Homo-oligomer: A and B are copies of this chain.
Amino acid sequence: MSNQYIVTLSCLDQPGIVHAISGGLLGAGCNITESQQYESPDSRTFFMRIEVATEQSLMQVRAALAPIREQFVMSLRVDDAAKRTRTMIMCSKAGHALNDLLFAQRAGNLAIEVPVIVSNHLDLKPMADFYGVDFVHLPVTAANKSQAEAELLALADEYNIELVVLARYMQILSDALCERMSGRVINIHHSFLPSFKGAKPYHQAHARGVKLIGATAHYVTADLDEGPIIDQEVTSVTHARTPAQLVNLGRSVEGRTLTRAVQWHAEHRVMLDGQRTIVFS
């Protein structure tokens, strides 16, 4: 069948949800090719992600599911699996995370398209050029911060951006911006959160003498380094590693972890349950 759609939904947990949804999908000529679900015992919420194949259009499938959405008071989306998430990447000087994202995107392993890269420095413009992506230099100072954020929002509008990825972008977004783009901004923090919040985490890790260092990809919230975690990864280190070596070792972990988190978001695999994420990986 020619169309592949992704249905994601959540609602208060109650009997009959699966039967109703599978009935609606059957009525819309959909064959279920993948399905995952989770009941959160904390929030009493039911979460589900279904991939379907069908000859019908997106509008037809949405229409077929509308009565079920109303009956169960669901939050429900149907997305076209072939549609790539329009993503703005923000970066500063270090290019490792940007390189991982752009290479994976070009290789066809990441369901995003990247029309624009925004940076407060010029260092990574050649990489943007190599990948044929627009590059906007947007310097940020204490004086122009609110104006810069206004430009950022204008750029997001102009490029129809659905997701912002902070690929080691070294500026802190304002609370207002975080609030406005809630659930649509992914950051990579260069530590295994909640260890070593804040600045220079690899130096903190060295001083504490930990034997594993890591990275955490999370949604950005106004509460710095406290947003919902999407993915984490660690790597072993020994006493012999200097802080500078930890920084280098950490970079490949950061790139991998961020790329995976972006992939899951772009494939509609991540849902929010309060401060926790459901990841149907």
Q: Which residues of A contact B (CB under 8 A)?
A: 15-16, 18-19, 22-23, 25-26, 31-39, 41, 95-96, 99, 103, 107, 109, 126-127, 130, 192-196, 207-212, 214, 228-234, 238-240, 242, 248, 251-252, 256, 273, 275-279, 281
Q: A16-B26, A26-B19, A194-B196 are in contact. Are A37 and B41 (CB under 8 A)?
A: no
Q: How far is the CA of A109 from the CA of B247 in the complex (A)?
A: 11
Residues of B contacting A31 in the complex (Cβ-Cβ under 8 angstroms) = 15
The main secondary structure of chain A at its interface with chain B is mixed
Residues of B contacting A251 in the complex (Cβ-Cβ under 8 angstroms) = 107
A192 and B212 contacting across the interface, CB-CB below 8 Å: yes
Q: How far is the CA of A211 from the CA of B192 in the complex (A)?
A: 10
Q: How far is the CA of A196 from the CA of B194 in the complex (A)?
A: 8
Shortest beta-carbon distance, A2 to chain B, in Å? 16
A277 and B109 contacting across the interface, CB-CB below 8 Å: no
* Chain B residue at smallest Cβ distance from A27: B19
B212 and A232 contacting across the interface, CB-CB below 8 Å: yes
Q: A16-B26, A256-B252, A276-B239 are in contact. Are A194 and B208 (CB under 8 A)?
A: yes
Residues of B contacting A229 in the complex (Cβ-Cβ under 8 angstroms) = 208-211
* Chain B residue at smallest Cβ distance from A278: B239
Q: Which residue from B35, B192, B248, B278 sits with its C-beta under 8 Å from A192?
A: B192
Q: How far is the CA of A208 from the CA of B194 in the complex (A)?
A: 8
Q: How far is the CA of A158 from the CA of B239 in the complex (A)?
A: 36
Q: How far is the CA of A36 from the CA of B239 in the complex (A)?
A: 13
Residues of B contacting A33 in the complex (Cβ-Cβ under 8 angstroms) = 39
Q: A19-B26, A107-B96 are in contact. Are A232 and B211 (CB under 8 A)?
A: yes
Residues of B contacting A35 in the complex (Cβ-Cβ under 8 angstroms) = 18, 35-37
A194 and B195 contacting across the interface, CB-CB below 8 Å: yes
A212 and B234 contacting across the interface, CB-CB below 8 Å: yes
Can you spell out 29 A-B residue pairs with CB atoms less than 8 angstroms apart?
A: A15-B26, A16-B26, A19-B26, A22-B22, A23-B23, A32-B37, A34-B37, A35-B35, A35-B37, A95-B103, A96-B107, A99-B99, A99-B103, A130-B130, A192-B192, A192-B195, A193-B195, A193-B210, A194-B210, A195-B195, A207-B276, A209-B229, A209-B276, A209-B277, A211-B229, A211-B230, A212-B232, A212-B234, A239-B277
Q: How far is the CA of A192 from the CA of B208 in the complex (A)?
A: 12
Q: Which residue from B231, B239, B277 sits with its C-beta under 8 Å from A279?
A: B239
